[in-house]
Structure 1
Amino acid sequence: MHNGFIRIAAAAPTVKVADVGFNLDGIKSKLMELESSRVELAVFPEMSLTAYTCGDLFHNATLLDAAAKALIDLRDYSKNLNVHFAVGLPVRHAGALYNCAAFIRNGKVDLVSKSYIPNYNEFYERRWWRPLPPGSCETVEICGETFEMSSGRIFRSHGTLVGIEICEDLWVPIPPSCRLAMAGAQIILNLSASDDLIGKYKYLTSLLQQQSARCLCAYAYAGAGWGESSTDLTFDGKAIICENGATLQANRRWDPSDNTSIADVDIQALERDRIHMTTFADCSSTECKGITIEDSSSDSSICITCQNSGSDTLAQALLRNIDPHPFVPAGSEAIHERCEEIINIQVAALAKRLDAICCHTLTVGISGGLDSTLALLIAVRTFDRLGLDRKGIIGVTMPGFGTTDRTHSNAVDLMSHLGVTSREISIGAAVKQHFKDIGHNPENHDVTYENSQARQRTMLLMDIANQTGGIVLGTGDLSELALGWATYNGDHMSMYGVNAGVPKTLVKYLVNYFASEAPEKSEVRRCLLDIIDTPISPELIPADSDGNIRQKTEDLVGPYELHDFFLYYMLRYGFTPERIYLLARNAFTADEYSDETITHWLSVFMCRFFNQQFKRSCLPDGPKVGSVCLSPRGDWRMPSDASSTLWRQNR
């Protein structure tokens, strides 16, 4: 593997029914293509040496002998190949025929027999094949040589563990791949010859995604295609690679020229999830009996095409999509659905909290920025759902030394048009008195200057909440919590943090969702769209001479899209900084961020993530909305004094 990735392929080259020589040449030609693409592991369709639709010719010695000789030919051909591969063929043994996959590696052959033989509808495979009971292992003779044939074995390939199943094996209630995965197989190869019917492809792709998710594995599927007999059936030549619930690559069906899918599989991510999901190991301890794993010396990878390459060459140009915004789904429809789901989670959580404490009033600070806007919108929808008067939501705008006319106007207008109670309290005089009390020079715009404003605002919100018999609704988001971009005991504190599980890159999509729901020419929509376009800022430093925001958050702590990317892969998969950098280098173009820029902000992220844990250790309650969460009561428990040295040295 290279940086935890292995390049795999599913291929369905054109075949001729019963023409073993033609099929053998096609497989060899495809192997050379895969070799040039630096593929390390490949799967071909069921009966790929003979074609699947040979019918009773499978009982003819001429066809069986040709398939046997082709196997030996491929075995010898593989000796100088880096790619390991599985092909399908019929195997004679002890007076019976077996539907087998031959796993071929650098001159070595292992046979895996199909476990479940379909004999219903268009399938009548029992006419030819016999199943090999699970866990069985037989010694078979082919062309005077002996080979092992099993139905429950895991093989080693390029540092990974590989399991094999054949077509129908996937469709049964408990596929062999389940037990293989629980015994350690990280990649499942499926040699298939599933014919095409109306609606079947969609069902199959869903099945492949779900099986890869259930088994926390990569799943490569190669289905018979062009050249198979159309006497009764039609085959579309599917080549699909899935990983942990997602399709990494799928070819264009019905096109003989597009018969291969290649993708880089993230073994490191799969292994992390298996470790993290404790119930996976619980299942493994009881369900993988009878599965054997090859001795480590069996992995005879020679890596011809890669031996002169740098260790990170493969990861520099990954054959998989690395989304630069992992928290944001691709496509407007998917974003719309995600926003609806997140909003419903936030609203349900806040509604439960209000109901539990019999509370009918909320106090929320409104700055005219994205986070406080989202919190206000969630509060409004929650009150509407509970049948409460929106006037019970007390929005407080607290202009200070850095507040601009734009954000102040948006804050006031939004509260007015949403129909909530609006209050305005300038904090200037109180903070200046505080500076006088503690002996701070107001011309010194240091951390004391900034944090005094944040704490004054929080004090006002807390006192107003007491005054009105309500609670303070926090506005800080997940990204700010990761970076510690909040004033301790200032905006860091509230009675309920409704945005605590929402990353910054997603906040603007949620606000935009509310804007799209508002009437087209309404003032609410106008306000929301302008808030989305406003630079992110805490507005704690005075504006410039033209009244524009001078203190821009991303100039200080770095681009949020980078930090959210780092956060996702740090928490979701536990990746090293080096690996996160490699993924970022694939996700973002050099025009967007240079190598030096990514490295710099990654270092900043690691320093802040560790140094600011003390703020997360005493967070208010707040709802989890996604797979990444920093709640100290659930998802993320880290000592506040943990050292970041290893993470800063890693890159």
Structure 2
Amino acid sequence: MDRFGFLKVAAAIPHLRVGDCDYNAGRMTALAEEAAQRGAEIVVFPELSLTGYTCGDLLLQPTLLDAAEEALEELVRATRKLPLTLIAGAPLCHGETLYNCAVVFTQGRILGAVPKSYIPGYAEFYEPRWFASGAGIAGEQIAVAGQEADFGTDLTFAVNGAEFGIELCEDLWAAVPPSSHLAQNGARVIFNLSASPEGVGKHDYLRQLVIGQSARTLSAYVYCSAGFGESSTDLVFAGNALIAENGQLLREGRRFSTDEQVVVADVDLERLAFERRRNTSFRMCETDSENTVIEMEQPEGLRTEHLDRWIDPAPFVPHDESRRAERCEEVFRIQSHGLARRMAHTRAAKAVIGISGGLDSTLALLVAVRTFDLLKLDRKGILGITMPGFGTTDRTYRNALQLMQGLGITVREIPIREACLQHFRDIGLDPADRSAAYENAQARERTQILMDIANMEGGLVVGTGDLSELALGWATYNGDQMSMYGVNASVPKTLVRHLVRWVADTESDEATRRTLLDILDTPVSPELLPAEADGSIAQKTEDLVGPYELHDFFLYHLLRTGSGPAKTLFLAGEAFGGRYDETTIRKWLGVFIRRFFAQQFKRSAMPDGPKVGSVALSPRGDWRMPSDATAAAWLRELDECKTNER
């Protein structure tokens, strides 16, 4: 396990000959060597991988059982120099009883054997004919391959500090899988040795089981099933290999492959520990029962240059187009239903929105339109107020008007230049002084207009600011930071863009679609400074605070996965390699950390708004943080870290 908590695991599916234990041990040795070369620290093989699962009544024959034990002894000897822990499937006799077992060994030492708890005897399965259940066995010793080892279903193993547990095939299908108890008792990785035959539709169910169990147990789940070589007399085995983590599938092998496979992935044990700390329901499930933890140190293996997992550069945005469309529809529904409930409660028949021609106000307006349609209210009750100021460009002004007209709402234009100049005279500010007061006065003037019109009309001011702006504090306190209901408050900027595009593609007439697409192509800007001589936007947000795709990535990993600055910097390097160099990522991560801490006071006073995803910053909900907390420890870690040290 490296310093960021990543553990490289492998599921290996070797060629197999039914009943030929020497051959099977040889192939397992070869794949163990391949796994070690790829940097794996633990490798798991299929159920009964030494004999073959489909041996039938041969499993009761002393000849096969003796051959299996001798082959296991050779496998332990042949892999003793590998910096690797192996988990192999074998039939083991304990007293006069035969058990279907997983044997764990490393550096020539057998650490323990775990018997299968649930022995299927239905449909195509006849395991009770040969094996007994190991359920309830604890604290016993077993003689295996010339060594004495711990034996029982209560065993967990800690290799270099990484604790894992084991279950076998049918155990996962049970109403209460053993892995549930193993996870409650400390195991953060579960390995499943399986020999599950194929059937139409079964694979989809299997994937759901593996992914779902990893989510319920807040664990990494490594599933390895028998493949080509098992008998096809009545059944076919496709060689399923699945590695999931906390409800996410990291890696999947090739089904029905005639080739051997070693499927490798890095699982994030540090993140799993964070998830368990924050999840109060998981803590409530922890039991007082004690399990036997077998600890072992093994030499450090080969370090690979990159992680064996994909780090999503856009964690808030699904990459699959159909899933992205589903996400957009769901977010849109949450936003519109939240606003509908608030309007119904306040008995407001009108909504007031400042329309700038930018992305955020566009999304807020689209949500308001959906809300009014949902409530069967006349869209004319939506008062769109465009308020041209010193930095408003012809492009954004035109888009604001065209969008409001296309959507059929009430359009009002209230320029703020003269009001701001009068305000500057009142407070003694030179208009040539382009300081924060110059910019913020415009934002507060606009908010005052919206609030007063809402009072006049008996309406509700709909906020436009998004999650990314809240995280950075990129909003004027008591200006655009304030509203009566903030529909975008938990929608990150990277998702705002996709939501607007989704509406353009699915719910708009051609003229409105063209306007939305042009808004999407417009640089993000508060437009508080005068435009350039050619009329273009002078104040581009991402030039000032950094790329939103980086800030959304930082936000997700610092808050949702509990990653510190050093790990976040490393992950960003993996996700954005080739697009941003380390110096650039480090610079903007420092900006994010400093602004996130310094701007908490704006979030402490933020208005109500609906939570739509797994990250939200409401001071009444997901994020509780004092406004005067210091970023010193985070900035110190960022200064000290080097991304080439994992």
**Partner residue in 1 for 2:244:** 242
Q: What's the offset of the Cα at 1:5?
A: 0.2
Could you tell me how far apart the structure 1 residues matched to 2:461 and 2:613 are? 24
Secondary structure in 2 matching 1:270: helix
Q: What's the offset of the Cα at 1:69?
A: 1.3
RMSD: 1.1
Letter in 1 for 2:514: R
Counterpart among 159, 172, 175 of residue 174 in structure 2: 172
**Partner residue in 2 for 1:310:** none
Q: What's the offset of the Cα at 1:519?
A: 4.8
Could you tell me how far apart the structure 1 residues matched to 2:179 and 2:170 are? 12
Q: What's the offset of the Cα at 1:107?
A: 2.0
Could you tell me how far apart the structure 2 residues matched to 1:237 and 1:580 are? 35
Residue segments in structure 1 that go unaligned for 5+ positions in a row: 307-313
**Partner residue in 1 for 2:297:** 300
Counterpart among 221, 226, 251 of residue 224 in structure 1: 226
Instruction: Give yes or no for contact 2:35–2:262 (8 Å, CA) kept in 1.
Output: no
Matched, 1:555 2:552: no
**Partner residue in 1 for 2:315:** 326
Letter in 2 for 1:104: F
Instruction: Give yes or no for contact 1:13–1:256 (8 Å, CA) kept in 2.
Output: no
Q: What's the offset of the Cα at 1:582?
A: 0.4
Q: What's the offset of the Cα at 1:85?
A: 1.3
Q: What's the offset of the Cα at 1:555?
A: 0.2
Could you tell me how far apart the structure 2 residues matched to 1:14 and 1:268 are? 34
Could you tell me how far apart the structure 1 residues matched to 2:159 and 2:405 are? 65
User: Which TM-score applies when normalising by structure 2?
Assistant: 0.97
Letter in 1 for 2:616: C
Provide, for residues 410-449 of structure 1, a one-character-per-residue CA deviation record: whole Å limited to 9, x for no partner.
0011111111111001100010111111111111211111
**Partner residue in 1 for 2:283:** 281
Could you tell me how far apart the structure 2 residues matched to 1:255 and 1:532 are? 45
- The 1:487/1:417 distance shift into structure 2, 3 A limit, reads same
Letter in 1 for 2:588: W
Could you tell me how far apart the structure 2 residues matched to 1:135 and 1:410 are? 72
**Partner residue in 1 for 2:642:** none
Provide, for residues 276-311 of structure 1, a one-character-per-residue CA deviation record: whole Å limited to 9, x for no partner.
00110111136xx253323xxx222111435xxxxx
Letter in 2 for 1:454: A
Instruction: Give yes or no for contact 2:465–2:489 (8 Å, CA) kept in 1.
Output: yes
Q: What's the offset of the Cα at 1:258?
A: 5.3
Secondary structure in 1 matching 2:357: coil
**Partner residue in 1 for 2:86:** 85
1:410-559 alignment runs, 5 A limit: 410-519=399-508, 522-559=510-547
Secondary structure in 1 matching 2:79: helix
Q: What's the offset of the Cα at 1:647?
A: 0.6
Instruction: Give yes or no for contact 2:39–2:301 (8 Å, CA) kept in 1.
Output: no
Secondary structure in 1 matching 2:462: strand
Secondary structure in 2 matching 1:79: coil
Instruction: Give yes or no for contact 1:78–1:104 (8 Å, CA) kept in 2.
Output: no
Secondary structure in 1 matching 2:634: helix
**Partner residue in 1 for 2:378:** 389
Instruction: Give yes or no for contact 2:139–2:292 (8 Å, CA) kept in 1.
Output: no
Secondary structure in 2 matching 1:80: coil
Could you tell me how far apart the structure 2 residues matched to 1:629 and 1:341 are? 16
Instruction: Give yes or no for contact 2:354–2:387 (8 Å, CA) kept in 1.
Output: yes
Provide, for residues 490-540 of structure 1, a one-character-per-residue CA deviation record: whole Å limited to 9, x for no partner.
0010111010010000001111111112356x2111111111110000001
Residue segments in structure 2 that go unaligned for 5+ positions in a row: 639-646
1:332-351 alignment runs, 5 A limit: 332-351=321-340
**Shift >6 Å, 4+ stretches:** none
Secondary structure in 2 matching 1:341: helix
Could you tell me how far apart the structure 2 residues matched to 1:627 and 1:144 are? 51
Could you tell me how far apart the structure 2 residues matched to 1:55 and 1:517 are? 57
Matched, 1:579 2:579: no
- The 1:275/1:11 distance shift into structure 2, 3 A limit, reads same
Letter in 2 for 1:133: A
Could you tell me how far apart the structure 2 residues matched to 1:449 and 1:144 are? 82
Could you tell me how far apart the structure 2 residues matched to 1:41 and 1:76 are? 17
**Partner residue in 2 for 1:193:** 195
Instruction: Give yes or no for contact 2:36–2:82 (8 Å, CA) kept in 1.
Output: yes
Letter in 2 for 1:613: Q
Provide, for residues 178-197 of structure 1, a one-character-per-residue CA deviation record: whole Å limited to 9, x for no partner.
00001010000100000011
**Partner residue in 1 for 2:150:** 148
**Partner residue in 2 for 1:628:** 615
Could you tell me how far apart the structure 2 residues matched to 1:380 and 1:510 are? 14
Instruction: Give yes or no for contact 2:334–2:612 (8 Å, CA) kept in 1.
Output: yes
Letter in 2 for 1:439: G
Q: Which moved more, 1:69-78 or 1:624-633?
A: 69-78
Secondary structure in 2 matching 1:555: helix
- How many residue pairs get aligned? The number is 636
**Partner residue in 1 for 2:632:** 645
**Partner residue in 2 for 1:311:** none
Secondary structure in 1 matching 2:425: helix
**Partner residue in 2 for 1:163:** 165
**Partner residue in 2 for 1:270:** 272
**Partner residue in 2 for 1:69:** 70
**Partner residue in 2 for 1:31:** 32
Letter in 2 for 1:456: E
Letter in 2 for 1:160: A
Could you tell me how far apart the structure 2 residues matched to 1:232 and 1:170 are? 23
Provide, for residues 49-90 of structure 1, a one-character-per-residue CA deviation record: whole Å limited to 9, x for no partner.
111111111111111111111222222233321111100011
Instruction: Give yes or no for contact 2:15–2:260 (8 Å, CA) kept in 1.
Output: no
Instruction: Give yes or no for contact 1:630–1:636 (8 Å, CA) kept in 2.
Output: yes
Letter in 1 for 2:282: F
Could you tell me how far apart the structure 1 residues matched to 2:57 and 2:126 are? 11
Letter in 2 for 1:631: S
Q: What's the offset of the Cα at 1:106?
A: 1.6
User: Which TM-score applies when normalising by structure 1?
Assistant: 0.96
Counterpart among 591, 606, 610 of residue 619 in structure 1: 606
Instruction: Give yes or no for contact 2:184–2:285 (8 Å, CA) kept in 1.
Output: yes
Could you tell me how far apart the structure 2 residues matched to 1:143 and 1:628 are? 51
Instruction: Give yes or no for contact 1:135–1:290 (8 Å, CA) kept in 2.
Output: no
